[in-house]
Amino acid sequence: MEKIVILTGAGISAESGMGTFRDKDGLWTQVRLEDVATPEGFARNPAMVQEFYNFRRVKAAEAKPNAAHVALARLQAHHAGEVVIVTQNVDALHEAGGAAGVIHMHGRLDSALCAGCGHRWHAPDTMAPDEACPACGGPFGRPDVVWFGEMPYRMGEIYDHLASADLFVSIGTSGEVYPAAGFVQEARANDIRTLELNLERSAGSRLFHETRLGPATEIVPAWVDELVRRN
């Protein structure tokens, strides 16, 4: 039975209104990544960083899953083999679309992390610059998202899935950020078939066996239909 590992990026949530990072109006054209997505930025200005994620948390909570999120959940339900979804996205739109067991390698906006004791809890809508940890009481609460210079979550598990997969599919990601950008090479080294679904060709596009271009809400359901019919 064919095991499928799917990597998703901001492009899959773009049509839900979440915005991307590196496109023309992307987030990193509006704010400096160094200010809001590094531990050093947080140390310099915790108020600004918390405010940035408070805004994104509210926006993510208001967003609705789109046809691409729903299609991947349908694939999980109807595919004979295992379908593992690994996302770089910090929204919960895969889960809202019905997907299970999603691996959030860059963390989640709806989770808070204590930088002092490592405790995690459900993030309130608004986190303060000195957000108190409910476990240790220290004022070290931060968004449970992975910043540049930090290690993404659950990497061992992800590489194990890539080692036992038959197909690797990358959806809506620019392939600019490692380690996720290196998954296609890992898949190729493991002799796995690779497919890219994206609006435009990503940085590592030539590494994929096949690329299909178009908006996620069109090309992802079409690809899922194909697979489900074959099952």
Q: Which is nearer to ligand OAD, 145 or 167 (CB)?
A: 145
Q: Which residue is nearest to ligand OAD (CB)?
A: 11
Give the whole-angstrom CA distance, residue 222 versus residue 41: 41
Q: Which is nearer to ligand OAD, 3 or 120 (CB)?
A: 120
Give the footprint of ligand OAD on this chain (CB under 6 A).
9-11, 14-15, 20-23, 26, 37, 88, 106, 146, 148, 172-174, 176-177, 198-200, 202, 215-216
Q: Are 198 and 215 in contact (CB under 8 A)?
A: no
Cα Rg of the chain, angstroms: 18
For the bound state, the minimum distance from the C-beta of residue 135 to ligand OAD, rounded and expressed in Å, comes to: 25
For the bound state, the minimum distance from the C-beta of residue 1 to ligand OAD, rounded and expressed in Å, comes to: 28
Give the whole-angstrom CA distance, residue 36 versus residue 45: 9
Q: Which is nearer to ligand OAD, 76 or 173 (CB)?
A: 173
For the bound state, the minimum distance from the C-beta of residue 179 to ligand OAD, rounded and expressed in Å, comes to: 11
Point out the residues that are catalytic: 106
